[in-house]
Structure 1
């Protein structure tokens, strides 16, 4: 504990202003502020060896703990019951994003891990999906920071643009709930967009959009398990050493599933669930702060054009597919 204390405390200090800034500007969110604050502090942290173990622990292990705690907010029965109507659109948008990410990563010659994180973050649930995927594919801090930055950039645009776009397209309340829940990545941005829509139309789409978003979050489980198997096979081909699935198996994802089952079987009071969701958010913000301290801002900007293009294409593809399927299914 002594080895980790200083670095973890630093990340906690970074998370405090990031948390309150995220509350004040939910369309941006605490994780983005944490990365920015962490990057601003990077020159002061560099070379401080006594901080490094705790910072690494926060960026790796506490990031995993955030995913586990998130499971307690996932009542599987409620999500499946209310989210099954949106399932065809959810599956189509996830597939669209992953296919676009795969094709463009080859065309743009982007690093594979960055492409995976952007594809998964765009298709599933932004920061939470990146938090779950990064340890499985062994992504480094700069790849995580770049992916988070790209995802949240388009989240901000979507949260600001989608309510007006939905009105211009003549979407119903149900249609906009599906649109926001499937085409916006982060929960805070989904909430911001749905709240703006409700304010404009006097409706109650916030709950529906949130349920769709939580249904998407469950895709973390099959995606991370698939990536673990894929990485194992790839490393076996590239090395003569025996690489076992146990070495890269995302055990924390099983704990995420277990937490969801516990919440489903033994209903937890709303106040406790709310506190656990806040704890998960705090852990993610702490981890993003740690990642920020390890991120080279100049390099991030210099190499950011291709990831931004990839993120835009994933975001555009998801949005178009969500709207087209609503027309086909008669929801619009």
Structure 2
């Protein structure tokens, strides 16, 4: 089909219309991701070289907007509930990732990127750790491709399993925050399940993202690189500020729900953009051993955290 739409202007118009459609209530998070991927496969992404710099910014703005739908007591309760599971899961994934890297004889940097991406927050963790361990461009691209591929699968699989097991909103939100790599897919899956699941998932996942800081410090010593700077996810502070404003200033009650709706639309657009940056060519670059390592880590954290939450 790509050959039938060779005109660059036509491709841009189609892409723009699809992006606008993702802002409407008719499109869910998984569909937005699938639509982006479908366009990338069939007509190509005419804006691919520009989107990467805006995806994370749009995601951060959307997450801050979701803060206006939370009260402080809800956020604290969610954070408290997920703390123990967060610590256990991060330690387990990092240790297992190191072991699998040796078993499959993967390059140290690649196995570490896959492990930290699975353990903390996907692409954001990979981006934060990369300047410290100094992997090759190919290793970074490979780790990101694997993480984003598994994220895409999780966006469809998690809600399906959640409904089969009749998980509560809080249980599902906690499971998403621990078992799904990237923040965008965590929020996307949770928003499809329900508003309470979304609140729990967002809060626990962002609290989990703060573990980038101690993990980065430990990484400096593991890779003997004390000159690197730690990349702190500062947007989380704005998320906390949004929660405080919504909690202590009643004036925000008037338009807090509107901001939340806009934030969810922004999230759908983010997932559409992420899907449009994937392609068959990118997926073909994924090797069997790195993919197998990532899948084992993902299945381990998914099943382990689910059993912990249910019991």
Root-mean-square deviation (Å): 4.2
State the TM-score, normalized to the length of structure 2: 0.65
1:222 deviates by 1.8
**CA distance in 1 between partners of 2:234 and 2:78 (Å):** 28
Give the aligned partner of residue 4 of structure 2. none
Name the counterpart of 1:104: 100
- The total of aligned residue pairs comes to 277
Q: 2:128 aligns with which of 136, 145, 162?
A: 136
User: Does residue 148 of structure 1 match 2:175?
Assistant: no
With over 3 angstroms needed to count, the CA separation of the structure-2 counterparts of 1:65 and 1:40, relative to structure 1, is farther
Post-superposition offset of 1:35: 4.1
Structure 1 pair 81–155 and aligned structure 2 pair: CA distance change class (3 A): same
The answer for the alignment partner of 2:213 in structure 1 is 225
Distance 2:21 2:103 in 1: 40
In terms of mean alpha carbon deviation, does 138-147 or 178-187 score higher? Answer: 138-147
Q: How far apart are residue 281 of structure 1 and its match?
A: 0.5
Query: CA separation in 2, counterparts of 1:178 and 1:271?
Result: 20
* Aligned mates of 1:56, 1:85 — CA distance in 2: 34
Aligned match of 1:15: 19
Find 1:251's aligned residue among 234, 245, 248.
234
Change in CA separation of 1:113 and 1:32 when aligned onto 2, cut-off 3 Å: farther
Mapped contact 1:89–1:322 kept (Cα < 8 A): yes
Contact 2:64–2:238 (CA<8 Å) still a contact in 1?
Answer: yes
1:77 paired to 2:73: yes
Q: Residue 218 of structure 1: SS of its match in structure 2?
A: helix
CA contact (8 A) 1:68 1:255 kept: yes
- The residue correspondences of 1:296-315 to structure 2 (distance < 5 A) are 297-303=280-286, 305-306=288-289, 308-315=291-298
Q: Which residue of 2 aligns with 1:281?
A: 267
The CA deviation string for residues 104-149 of structure 1, in whole angstroms up to 9 with x for no partner, is: 34444262334422333xxxxxxxx436435423585664343122
In structure 1, what is the equivalent of residue 245 of structure 2?
A: 262
Task: Specify the SS of the correspondent of 1:237.
Answer: coil
Question: Deviations along 1:273-299, whole A, 9 cap, x unmatched?
Answer: 323422540552365256x0xx55224
**Among 12, 17, 37, which residue is 2:39 paired with?**
37
- Answering whether residue 212 of structure 2 is matched by residue 216 of structure 1, we say no
- Match 2:173 to one of 166, 181, 191: 181
